[in-house]
């Protein structure tokens, strides 16, 4: 077995093959002729698995850097569409960024068919215009957006809601600290935003 045997297996790993399947393929290519040959082939196997793990680690680091870019590299912008200053449509990438950076945020469950949601939206936009509240991002989870069903299922399974509008205040450790349904007062939202 030589390097020409290894690289197709690395490609197979990226195309969905598990490490176990890659290892099985590598073992299938080894022919045990002598003790010396066996040692050489075992070393090659270890190096091959190490190579696969290294490539995987580099890929994960790259993806992590894409999600958590420095403010200078990304101008502190988020992936979701901006509604107002520091108020965005929900994106799973932004959610993961908040988890990695350990930052508090506010989730706003919203439906276009809900008239109370529109009123709450106006309150949130007005609040985000205030200088002291610009820091904490708000993510609007539009449950009526069928293009993002999978993303909404992921966030809704972690931060459950029963009706719209619902606000969920999430602390630095990703724990929901307060859940408000209906249209709470602007003062109450402002007070809770200042606490998380």
**Beta 138-142 vs 87-89: how paired, if at all?**
parallel
Do residues 54 and 105 make contact, with C-beta atoms less than 8 angstroms apart?
A: no
Q: Are 148 and 115 in contact (CB under 8 A)?
A: no
Residue with tokens 């200053």: 85
Task: Collect the ranges in the chain with pLDDT lower than 50.
Answer: 1-3, 7, 9, 32-33, 68-76
Helices (H) and strands (E) in the chain, counts: 8, 6
pTM over 0.75: no
Q: What are the backbone dihedrals phi and psi of residue 26, each rounded to the nearest 5 degrees, phi first?
A: -65, -45
58-71 tens-digit pLDDT: 777 766 655 544 44
Q: Which domains does the chain have, with CATH numbers?
A: 3-67 (no CATH), 72-195 (3.40.30.10)
How far is it, in rounded angstroms, from Cα 18 to Cα 34? Answer: 29
Task: Provide the pLDDT for residue 36.
Answer: 62
Are 30 and 41 in contact, with CB atoms under 8 Å apart?
yes
Q: pLDDT digits over 26-47, tens only? A: 555 555 445 567 777 788 888 8
Coil, helix or strand at residue 169: strand
């Amino acid at each position: 077995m030589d390097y020409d045997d290894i690289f197709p297996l690395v490609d197979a790993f990226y195309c969905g093959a598990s490490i176990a399947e890659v290892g099985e393929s590598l073992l299938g290519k080894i022919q045990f002729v002598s003790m010396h040959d066996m040692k050489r082939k075992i070393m090659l196997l270890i190096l091959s698995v190490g190579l696969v793990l290294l490539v995987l680690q580099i890929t994960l680091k790259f993806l992590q850097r894409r999600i958590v870019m420095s403010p200078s590299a990304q101008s502190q912008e988020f992936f979701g569409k901006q509604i107002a200053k520091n108020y965005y449509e929900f994106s799973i990438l932004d959610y993961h960024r908040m988890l990695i950076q350990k930052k508090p945020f506010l989730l706003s469950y919203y439906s276009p068919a809900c008239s109370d949601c529109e009123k709450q939206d106006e309150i949130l936009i007005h609040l985000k215009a205030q200088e002291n509240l610009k820091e904490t991002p708000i993510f609007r989870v539009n449950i009526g957006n069928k293009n993002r069903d999978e993303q909404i299922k992921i966030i809704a399974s972690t931060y459950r809601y029963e009706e719209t509008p619902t606000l969920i205040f999430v602390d630095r450790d990703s724990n929901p600290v307060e859940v408000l349904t209906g249209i709470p007062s602007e003062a109450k939202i402002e007070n809770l935003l200042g606490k998380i």
